[in-house]
Amino acid sequence: MTTGDKVPTNDTNFDLVRLVFVTQSGAVRAHEINAEKVDTAVENGTPISELVQSYNAFGRRDKDGRLGAAGEVKLQPDPETMRSLPYAEQTGCMLCNIETLAGNPWPIDPRSSLQKFISEMAYQPAVAFESEFHLFTRDSDGEAQPLDTKGVYLTESTRETHETIRRIVTALESQGLVVEKYYPEYAAGKHEVVIGHQPGLRAVDEHILLRETVKSVARTDDFRATFLPRPFGTATNGCHIHLSLWDDANRFYDSAKGEPSELCEQFIAGILTHASALLALTAPTANSYTRLRPQYGAAGFVCWGTGNREALVRIPATQAGTEAQSTRIEFRGADNTINPYLALIGLLAAGADGIQRELEPPKSVTVDPGTLSPTQRAERGIERLPQTLGAALDALATNETMREVLGDELLETYLEVKRSHWDAFTESARSWNRDRLRRIY
């Protein structure tokens, strides 16, 4: 397994250091401390209100929820994640766990929950988040307008945004992220920067750094960036999660047969079995479900296939001679409104259940499932994914595998936050404004 070098610790003289964490809502948040207080923060943590975890994406909280105004916890920065932020002068950052004031893991902290889950796995995950985003400006009326020409790899799109993309790539590389490729995507203003795979926790940390970097660099160029699943008209943004399991070798590859392994197929079967509940973690906003539709360049059905971009789980093609290293699955039902720590826990838990129970996936789908008739899909056991956040949350609430892995406190807190999001949508559906979410993601 290729793990990459140790996360670089930049010894630049900082004035400020951001202590970065992600709440249940998927929003990236931070405390900034004086650089002279970093050693103290690493040793003792920095107190914050536990109430922060109860806010949804709109800054509202469920006042009847389990987290009240009186409780406090602390941010515990991970010094190995220290970076200099190239877009913020004299400022560094560290990713944080959240602990109790007594120094114990807080049961509803997403980052330490992922750490614990991975530490107990039989195999170690190699993960890459493949994130799409839009660059846009605002016209004289304040309306958002995509920045460049409709893409699909057009060189014209690369010319129109070259300088901004170059600065994004440079900023990512200066933080130790490996940028593998970039290309303009289908819709006007849509782009994708692909970073290399890393071990599970580091991959999530780097995904958060990518999101922060893209939005920050765009801002310095007087543009805006959004990762919202459906930010404009028919335009969409996904977050495809690539994953394989390793010990001394890639266990998703059967070297004797030269094809994906039985363990890989069991993992896929687990994902398909838990797909409805999993979607509450990987497509966690009302806006997410305007993207997950048949024949929309995203998953609409519970199925899998080799090279099938309309399937929920795809096995991507590999280059000749690299099969043992690069055989993997791609989960296409995620977007960038996720809390990525929780999304990865869900994926790993679903797959691990498939391995433990030796589940067999249904026959792979070699066509666009949206072109099949309802009868044909029924005969193949191809079901529709949940079509609303509310339906996915109901599935998550009754899924015993997810409850066992996440624990009651974390699961119920997450459900409270996301149900408050869903309630806000259903109560004001006619006046729902995508622009509000665009400012968050």
How many other β-carbons are positioned within 10 Å of the β-carbon of residue 412? 16
Nearest to 211 by CA among 23, 26, 421, 417: 26
Q: Which two tokens stand for residue 225?
A: 């960036």
pLDDT at 151 over 90: no
Residues, the chain: 441
Confidence of residue 55 (pLDDT cuts 50, 70, 90): confident
State both tokens at 36: 């002279």
Three-state SS for 75?
A: strand
Average pLDDT, the chain: 91
Could you identify the residue written with the tokens 């002068």? 89
Nearest-angstrom CA–CA distance, 118 and 78? 17
**pLDDT on residue 218:** 94
pLDDT at position 47 over 50 = yes
Structure token digits, residue 216: 């920050």
Q: Superfamily assignment of 117-422 in CATH?
A: Glutamine synthetase/guanido kinase, catalytic domain (3.30.590.10)
d(CA 251, CA 349): 17
16-106 architecture in CATH?
A: Roll (3.10)
| pLDDT at residue 337 in the model | 96
State the amino acid at position 219 in one-letter form. Answer: R
Q: Give the contacts of 77 (CB within 8 A, at least 6 positions apart).
A: 17, 19, 38, 41, 42, 45, 46, 94, 95, 96
> Which pLDDT belongs to residue 326?
95
What phi, psi does 334 have (nearest 5°)?
A: -115, 155
**pLDDT score of 434:** 62
Task: Give the other-Cβ count within 10 Å of 90's Cβ.
Answer: 13
pLDDT of residue 429: 60
Mean pLDDT over residues 237-260, rounded?
96
CATH 3.10.20.70 in the chain: give the residue spans.
Answer: 16-106
Q: What is the 8-class DSSP label of residue 54?
A: G
Q: Is the pLDDT of residue 250 over 90?
A: yes
Tell me what the mean pLDDT of segment 265-286 comes to: 98
Token pair of 260, please? 């994906």
Please enumerate, as own/partner, the contacts of 220-223 that have beta carbons within 8 Å and a separation of 24 or more.
220/87, 220/167, 221/163, 221/164, 221/167, 222/137, 223/135, 223/136, 223/137, 223/147, 223/164
pLDDT at 1: 42
What pLDDT is recorded for position 435? Answer: 64
| Amino acid residing at 45 | G
Q: Which of 97-101, 125-129, 138-142, 182-186 has the lowest mean pLDDT?
A: 138-142
Give percent of the chain above pLDDT 90.
Answer: 76
**Predicted pLDDT at 12:** 59
Q: Give 427 or 199, the one with higher predicted confidence.
A: 199
- Cβ atoms within 10 Å of 230's Cβ, excluding its own: 22
> Where in the chain are all domains bearing CATH 3.30.590.10?
117-422
Nearest in space to 255 (alpha carbons), one of 207, 323, 159: 323
Contact at 8 Å (CB) between 58 and 71?
A: no
Give the CA diameter of the chain: 66
Tokens of 65: 């929820």
Listing DSSP states for 212-237 in one string gives HHHHHHHHHTT-EEE--SS-STT---
For residue 221, is pLDDT > 90?
A: no
**Weakest-pLDDT range from 119-128, 156-165, 272-281:** 156-165
Q: What are the backbone angles phi and psi of residue 228, rounded to the nearest 5°?
A: -55, 140
State mean pLDDT over 45-72: 84
CA distance 189 to 145: 9
- Give, for 141, the enclosing helix (H) or strand (E): none
Residue 69 pLDDT class (50, 70, 90 cuts): confident
For residue 2, pLDDT beyond 70: no
Q: What is the pLDDT of residues 170-182, one digit of tens each?
A: 999 999 999 999 9
User: Is the per-residue pLDDT at 356 higher than 60?
Assistant: yes
Taking the CB of residue 79, how many other CB atoms lie within 10 A of it?
Answer: 12
CA distances (Å), origin 381, targets 221, 307, 352, 391: 49, 20, 22, 20
Q: For residue 65, what pLDDT is reported?
A: 78
Write down the pLDDT at residue 6.
Answer: 43
Instruction: Render pLDDT for 379-435 as a digit per residue (tens, 0 to 9).
Output: 999 999 999 999 999 999 999 999 999 999 999 999 999 999 998 888 766 445 566
- The residue-averaged pLDDT of 356-368 equals 96
What pTM was computed for the model? 0.93
* pLDDT range class, residue 144, cuts 50, 70, 90: confident
